[in-house]
Amino acid sequence: MFQVRIHGRGGQGVVTGAEMLSVAAFIEGRHAQAFPSFGSERMGAPVVAFCRIADKEIRLREPILEPDCLIVQDPTLFKVIDVFAGLRGDGYLLVNTNKTFADLHLGQVVDRLPKGHAVIVPATEIAMKHVGRPVPNAALLGAFAALTQFVHLDSVEHAIGEAFPGKIGAANIAAARQAHEFVLMQQRQSAA
């Protein structure tokens, strides 16, 4: 079972992001369970959503306590809550920011993870460019596909298209592709 925890703020599409990821896994014939952190959601408040992916039925109903991957949609959350709680030693970290890990004082956290398991993506910038709104969720899923290779970009694109038909969907798919390419480029650079 692969477990993803998404941290963000109300209005950033955190819950929709987890749902779209589950649809992408479903498209690939896998079992997936997406659920929000169940609270009174309001714009700007910290929000958590979860997605489990497995090859058999998922029965577990506890929140994700030991994620295999953390997606952080808003880097200001690092000061507010313990985002990293339970992150597995061999886990992945994906942060939406236009700064570096050093700027965010996350060097130590990144060093604990296997090489190449932590990446930054300017997903809000990418979303602004394609969608015209600060909604980084779709872009981050594109980046997730590149980082973990756990779902295929095609499935992510399908899932985004299902959630947002028409023009908005196309714009979000474009954002996902660019973020995907952004991560692949980082990986190529660090391999070189």
Partner 1 sequence: MLKQVEGSHAMAEAIALCRPEVICAYPITPQTHIVEGLGELVKEGALVDCEFINVESEFAALSVAIGASAAGARAYTATASQGLLFMAEAVYNASGLGLPIVMTLGNRAIGAPINIWNDHSDAMSMRDAGWLQLFAETNQEAVDLHIQAFKLAEELSMPVMVCVDGFILTHAVERIDIPTQQQVDAYLPPYDPVQVLDPAEPASIGAMVGPEAFTEVRFLAHYKQTLALKLIPEFSAEFAKGFGRETGGLLRSYRAEDADMLVVAMGSVCGTIKDTIDEMRDDGIRIGLVVIVSFRPFPVEALRNALAGAKDVVVVEKSIAVGMGGQLANNVDASLRNLPRPPRLHSSVAGLGGRPITRTSLHHLFRQASVQPWEGTNFLDLNERVVGREIHRTRKTRRSGPTAENILRQLAKSVPPAAE
Sign of CA dihedral 99, 116, 136, 179: positive
Q: How far is the CB of 131 from partner 1 (least distance, A)?
A: 22
Residue closer to partner 1 (CB basis): 78 or 182: 78
- The single residue among 5, 13, 19, 118 that binds partner 1, judged by CB under 8 A, is 19
Structure tokens at 12: 């950033």
Among residues 3, 33, 73, 96, the one that binds partner 1 under rule CB under 8 A:
33
45 part of the interface to partner 1, by CB under 8 A? no
- Tell me which residue of 12, 177, 3 sits closest to 86, measured CA to CA: 3
Q: Which two tokens stand for residue 143?
A: 């980046």
Span near partner 1 by CB under 8 A; candidates 58-66, 68-76, 141-149, 169-177:
58-66
- Residue 137 as a binder of partner 1 (CB under 8 A): the answer is no
Contact 50, 64 (CB under 8 A): yes
Structure tokens, 68: 């295999």
Distance CA 29, CA 150 (A): 13
Do residues 49 and 36 make contact, with C-beta atoms less than 8 angstroms apart? yes
Q: Exactly one of 22, 97, 137, 172 binds partner 1 (CB under 8 A); which one?
A: 22
In this chain, which of 65, 103, 114, 116 binds partner 1, going by CB under 8 A?
65
**Contact residues for partner 1, defined by CB under 8 A:** 18-19, 22-23, 26-27, 31-36, 38, 40, 58-63, 65, 78-82
